[in-house]
Amino acid sequence: MNELLLALARWLDSHSLSTQLHESFYMYNWVESTHVLTLMLFLGMLIIIDLRMLGWIFPTVPASHIAERLDKPMLIGMAIMFITGFALYYAIPERTTQSIWFRIKVVLLIAASINAILFRARMRDSSASWDTDLKPPNNIRFAAAASLTLWAGVVITGRTIAYDWFDCHKELPAFMYWAAGCVDQLAASRGVE
């Protein structure tokens, strides 16, 4: 698996467009800034929906109203984040593939998405009974808290990709080499033993 991901990353890295994007000061920084600033749209709308589900904002507006009205702007934000996020990965594929933070981020992203899909289904089925309640039922509030926590985790691990604390070139325990996908370093550390 790690070998396969690394091979894919090295293949992307061999593209001249990847190198150009990485080496272009303005282009790379614009893409990266768009990615970060779109947090205000995507995460901003998401926070508002989740805060309503917790009963902390818009108490007089039905929860389903908030969720429906903010769905589209949130998804637009998500699309922009995906496109710019992929471009950022494409610009620096090898290091990102071998980043423990990026890997945790992808796992959290998947967990947050599953939570969101379940949350939507649950809301659709049951919102009629609590739509106008100031405080939605406990299972909805729990899902909202989980959503906020998971997405905060996605942002946090996204930010830490920039730090080199656990990069492959550092002296790390074998477990970390494995978890981060440092194929060569892992093989070397095994060779020494």
Nearer Cβ to other proteins, position 36 or 146?
Answer: 36
CA distance 80 to 83: 5
Query: What is the torsional sign of CA 25, 26, 28, 34?
Result: positive
Tokens describing residue 110: 């998947």
Least distance (Å) between residue 41 CB and other proteins:
6
Total of residues contacting other proteins (CB under 8 A): 31
Least distance (Å) between residue 56 CB and other proteins:
8
Name residue, tokens 């947050």: 112
CA distance 25 to 75: 29
Beta-carbon count within 10 A of 188 CB = 11
Among residues 20, 56, 43, which one has the least CA distance to residue 150? 43
- Window 131-170: residues binding other proteins (CB under 8 A): 152, 155-156, 159-160, 163, 165
Nearer Cβ to other proteins, position 73 or 83?
Answer: 73
Does position 47 interact with other proteins (CB under 8 A)? The reply is yes
Does position 51 interact with other proteins (CB under 8 A)? The reply is yes
Binding site for other proteins (CB under 8 A): 25, 29, 32-33, 36-37, 39-41, 43-48, 51, 57-58, 60-61, 65, 69-70, 73, 152, 155-156, 159-160, 163, 165
